[in-house]
Amino acid sequence: MQNVGRISLVDAAIGELRQEIASGAWPVGTKIPSESQLALALGVSRLSVREAVRVLVHSGLLTTRQGDGTYVIATDESEMALKRRLDRAAVMDIIDVRRGLDLVAARLAAARRTPQDLDALRESLERRTAAHQAVDLNAFADADVDFHLLIAAASHNPVLLDLYRGMSEALRDTVRRDHCMKRAVLGFDSSHQELYEAIEAGDAASAVTIALAILDQQERDL
């Protein structure tokens, strides 16, 4: 961390704090140094540090816990902006967006999947099955979302994967709210296994059809 000098003190302090977060020096979950420690390291007043921290709390990178300190909660402001927007979105809005993402992810995954991608997809399906047999909704939601994230990863399109990752919490909430696990427990839902098999076979048309059918069922469950 460098001394920021006397020009644009708050902005310079914000830049230095952002750099510590972006570089990985302060990973998510880290408690950052105190105001006095930061002021000394940056060569600015505690007031400038306080304002810089306030800006980064507002942007979603930091959170302040009363009587404890300030912690890093994210490394990417754009990701946090998307998360806040998704938190406010209606479930149907999220499903509408997923139609576009899942269509592309399924088509590309069927064409580009590697043996390693297929291994990861099978493992997530096994965890999903184990979770519904144990009637563990949180584990089921995690495995279900991982399965769809792994399809996006199998597309080998990093932009698509980043978009899907940004929606992961909203996807978990959707899975927890609908009847997906109930259908799996009752043996009514084989769609995820069928989607895996279409991707494994390199059948892009079937993969797209099944991926969209999964979302159609989620819409009916609302």
Structure-token pair, residue 75? 């490394």
Quick check: pTM over 0.75? no
Give, for 63, the enclosing helix (H) or strand (E): strand 62-65
- For Cα atoms 129, 95, 144, give the angle at the middle one, nearest 5 degrees: 15
Buried/exposed 16-46: b ≥16 CB within 10 Å, e otherwise: bbbebbeeeebeeebebbebeebbebbebee
Structural domains in the chain, CATH included, are 9-75 (1.10.10.10), 79-221 (1.20.120.530)
CA-CA-CA-CA torsion sign (85, 88, 91, 93): negative
Reading the chain (222 residues) residue by residue, the pLDDT tens digits are 555 444 478 888 999 999 998 888 998 889 999 999 999 999 999 999 999 998 888 887 888 888 888 998 888 766 665 565 555 556 778 888 889 999 999 999 999 999 999 999 999 999 998 988 888 888 888 899 999 999 999 999 999 998 888 788 777 777 776 555 665 554 557 899 999 999 999 999 999 999 999 988 877 776
